[in-house]
Structure 1
Amino acid sequence: MRGILATGTLVLVILGIGDRLWWLAAVALLYLYAALGRGSPGTAPPAAPGTPPESYRAYRERRDRQARWERRYRRERPF
C-alpha cells in the first residue's frame, strides 16, 4: 500500500510540473491516506483515549495464532 501511494504521489507531483491541478490531486491523495488510516486491512483501529491497553492474554492468543499459522505455512511450503 505504501509503495503504491508513494508511486502515485510521485507521478502526480511530476505531472504537476506543468499543471497545478496534478499537485492538488497529489495533496488529496495524501490527505485521504492520512484521513482513512495508515494500517493494513487486517489491523484493528486504535483504541480510544483513556481505554486500558490490550491484555496480556489477548496478546498471547494473537502470538500463538500467528505461530500456528507460521508452522502450518512452513509444513505446506517446505522451500
Structure 2
Amino acid sequence: GNQLHRIIPDGCIDIIVDRLSPSNWKAAFVEGVMTRFEVLNLSEAQSLFGIRFFSEAAQSFLHDPLSAFMGQHVFLEEIWGMEG
C-alpha cells in the first residue's frame, strides 16, 4: 500500500542516490537546503541512500553558491559532468 513519508527541513544538503533509477544520468542528485517540508507518497519499492552535509561542508565541493540549490534537486552530472 501507499506510505506517506514526511521530510522536515533541517538546514542540511544531501546527495541522494536512487539505486533503482533506469538512467545513470538521473540516479544521483544534490537535494538543496529545503525551505519547507515535503510529503512523499511512497507507492512503489524504493532503494535510496543519502549522504548528509552541513551547509559549510557542502560549499567546499559544490561549484555554485548554496543558494543555487535552495529548495530543489540538481543532478550530479549537471554539477560535475560525466564524473558525477
Fold conserved (TM > 0.5)?
no
- Output the TM-score relative to the length of structure 2: 0.17
Relative contact order higher in (CA < 8 Å, ≥ 6 apart): 2
- Output the TM-score relative to the length of structure 1: 0.18
More strand by proportion, 1 or 2? 2
Q: Which has the larger radius of gyration?
A: 1
More helix by proportion, 1 or 2? 1
